Structure 1
Amino acid sequence: MSGTDRAVGGRGRAGTVVSGLAVAVGCVLFLGGFAWAALVYQPYTVPTESMAPTVNAGDRVLAERIDGSDVRRGDVVVFTDPLWGDTPMVKRVVGVGGDTVACCEQGGRLTVDGTPVDEPYLSRGTGAAGAPGPASPQKFSAKVPEGALFLLGDERVSSLDSRVHLQDAGQGSVPLSAVRARVDAVAWPMNGMIGRPAAFAALPGGVSAEGPLPLQAGAALLGVVLILGGAAYGPVAARAARRERTVGGAR
């Protein structure tokens, strides 16, 4: 075997090694991303329009398993409470322990401790003189007990939420222990991540950090790219080595 043949053969073997390594790393990233997501997230199907337009009836969401103490204003959470029917429900947190939540101020907005909150996720419609409609057709004011949350649906006309339970103990709030998960994304249809409302960021405690779903999805996607790229590179490298060997032998 000539020196040229050995060099070409070495490049062919190197290509095979690189291809195999890329596929192996890709499998680890792809499977690892899915396994990580399965540990952290739980899928739910939302049965009603109470969270429209953020989440519509029949949407499949991914909710991060968290403790109630990790919840912040603006989060969309899955919770279970006996007074609400003891079935998993999805609502948005608008008040935490110690807050006074009320609606509506002069501009029709919800207030938290007297601070108006802009809620761009609502379909408020049009009120008098073309102004946006109120954030709630029902006026209310509630003091949230410590260790509890005040929850509203984004579809404020028909949502059965804390406003319906204002006469209950705790003025419609639910305990932190009722929270099962925080909704991070609508998986089907693929509407993407549910952002943290900027208006709540200025209030004490701020908003919660984004969950790890983008990182998990990125790892899985990179894994797919490496698997496909590695699988394609091996035959291409081998073919190039054979062609070079053939050309070299013809000289």
Structure 2
Amino acid sequence: MSGTGRTNGGPGRLGNVLSGLAVAVGCVLFLGGFVWGAVEYRPYTVPTNSMDPTVKAGDRILAQRISGGAARRGDVVVFTDSQWGNMPMVKRVVGVGGDKIACCDTDGRLTVNGEAVEEPYVRGAIGGRASMNDFSATVPEDQLFLLGDERGASLDSRLHLQDPGQGSVPRSAVDARVDAVAWPLGGLVDRPKGFAALPGGVSGPGPLKLLAGSVVAGALLILGGAAYGPVAGLVSKRRRAARPGERVSAGVR
């Protein structure tokens, strides 16, 4: 009789404990992922098509909160600067302090310190050039030179070349770095390889994939743990119904 109790009760109790543990861990991962996301990221709505095709007007983007010191060439950043209208704007960093930015070389490419940069994301310039108009600028220290990906229409550093900073903005103006288009679903915003060979390289990926994995794993653990009790009860009921002859009283045993 005691052996029967261990056989019927032990695994059931263990299953209940494990399912409860799965739900608890799932809640931590699920809620922790959302809290982590709220701390790391801010949502923005893109106001114009100046960054088309990377992000378009009306897109909801997720941007990781960073200091301007963390911005690298190739990053798509959100910044606010009084010379640019004192409102959040989205542009791509193409030059940092000390860089000489010029356009265009004989193949129509942007150059950074004399090195041509491949920019497959650029749209709008005639003949596939990196800019419709030639220009050059030297970026002051602790400043960033910013261009839109829609070079035919973007109002960017080229418009401010006559300013004291030759079109650049202070690093302190940067609030965040764009990691993904959240709506409509557009996926991650990749770091461009064209700047990878330059000193400082490009930024590493943000934690968005890890954060999303935490939320998904948490949801699966919660659902799996919560489903264990009903599923185990149903299986047990079917087994008893399939073997009615084995149900004997304790007194007979």
Q: TM-score, normalised by structure 2?
A: 0.92
Change (3 A) 1:27 1:190: same
Determine what percentage of the aligned residue pairs are the same residue: 67
Between the aligned partners of 1:124 and 1:171, the Cα distance in structure 2 is: 23
Between the aligned partners of 1:178 and 1:125, the Cα distance in structure 2 is: 27
Amino acid aligned to 1:148: Q
Task: Give yes or no for the alignment of 1:207 onto 2:202.
Answer: yes
Number of positions where the alignment pairs a residue of Structure 1 with one of Structure 2: 246
- Bigger CA radius of gyration: 2
CA RMSD between the two structures? 1.6
Q: Which of structures 1 and 2 has the larger relative contact order (alpha carbons within 8 angstroms, sep 6+)?
A: 1
Between the aligned partners of 1:117 and 1:110, the Cα distance in structure 2 is: 6
Q: Which runs of 5+ in 1 are unaligned?
A: 128-132
4+ residue runs over 6 A deviation:
none
Q: TM-score, normalised by structure 1?
A: 0.93
Partner of residue 172 from structure 1, selected from 152, 158, 167: 167
Between the aligned partners of 2:213 and 2:64, the Cα distance in structure 1 is: 17
Q: Alignment partner of 2:69: what SS?
A: helix
Q: Alignment partner of 1:229: what SS?
A: helix
The residue aligned with 1:184 is 179
1:100-120 Cα deviation digits (max 9, x unpaired): 111111111111011000011
The residue aligned with 1:122 is 122
Q: Alignment partner of 2:181: what SS?
A: strand
8 A contact 2:102–2:136 mirrored in 1: yes
Change (3 A) 1:196 1:202: same
8 A contact 1:23–1:226 mirrored in 2: yes
Partner of residue 139 from structure 1, selected from 134, 139, 143: 134
Amino acid aligned to 1:76: V
8 A contact 1:16–1:237 mirrored in 2: no
Q: Which runs of 5+ in 2 are unaligned?
A: 247-253
1:178-199 Cα deviation digits (max 9, x unpaired): 0011111111111111111111
1:13-38 Cα deviation digits (max 9, x unpaired): 22222222111111110000010010
Between the aligned partners of 1:237 and 1:136, the Cα distance in structure 2 is: 66
